[in-house]
């Protein structure tokens, strides 16, 4: 889980959908972000990932977003332009970092599929 990777985030943002809020609340209990939880616009399945990318470009602290498929696939593709496509399944987590103008994938956690 994220705790095994020493994940530290300033806040956890989630969509307006109940399941995303519940997931964010579970993560917040373990990660204890100083900024707490915040509902934001733009994380719904059909939202434009370029808007999310623009918001992440402005972030000056580590944030966690809890959203929905297929939006999260498209957001990852926008951030990691030129990288191999990521396959998201429900409950997948990725960590991206930004250096200069480039984003890179640090790690990916996905539930084991049986």
Quick one: pLDDT at residue 4?
64
pLDDT in the model for residue 50: 93
* Residue 114 located in a structural domain: no
How confident is the model over 66-78, as pLDDT tens digits?
A: 999 999 999 999 9
Q: Which helix (H) or strand (E) is 72 found in, with range?
A: helix 71-79
State the chain's mean pLDDT as an integer.
90
DSSP 48-98: -HHHHHHHHHH--S-EEEE--TTHHHHHHHHHTTTSPPP---TT-EEEEEE
Which pLDDT score, from 0 to 100, does residue 51 have? Answer: 93
The enclosing domain of 51 has a CATH number of: 3.40.50.1240
Mark the ranges of the chain whose per-residue pLDDT is less than 70. Answer: 1-5, 113-114
Instruction: Give the domain range for residue 6.
Output: 2-109
Q: Name the domain count of the chain.
A: 1
Please tell me the predicted confidence (pLDDT) of residue 113.
57
pTM for this model (two decimals):
0.87
Q: Is residue 81 part of a domain?
A: yes
């Amino acid at each position: 889980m994220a705790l095994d990777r020493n994940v530290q985030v300033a806040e956890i943002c989630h969509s307006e959908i109940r399941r995303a809020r519940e997931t964010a609340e579970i993560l917040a209990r373990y990660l204890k972000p100083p900024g707490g939880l915040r509902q934001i616009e733009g994380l719904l399945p059909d939202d434009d990932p370029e808007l999310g990318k623009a918001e992440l470009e402005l972030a000056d602290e580590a944030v966690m977003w809890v959203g929905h498929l297929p939006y999260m696939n498209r957001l990852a593709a926008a951030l990691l332009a030129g990288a191999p496509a990521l396959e998201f399944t429900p409950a997948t987590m990725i960590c991206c970092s930004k250096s200069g103008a480039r984003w890179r994938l640090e790690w990916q956690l996905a539930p084991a599929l049986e």
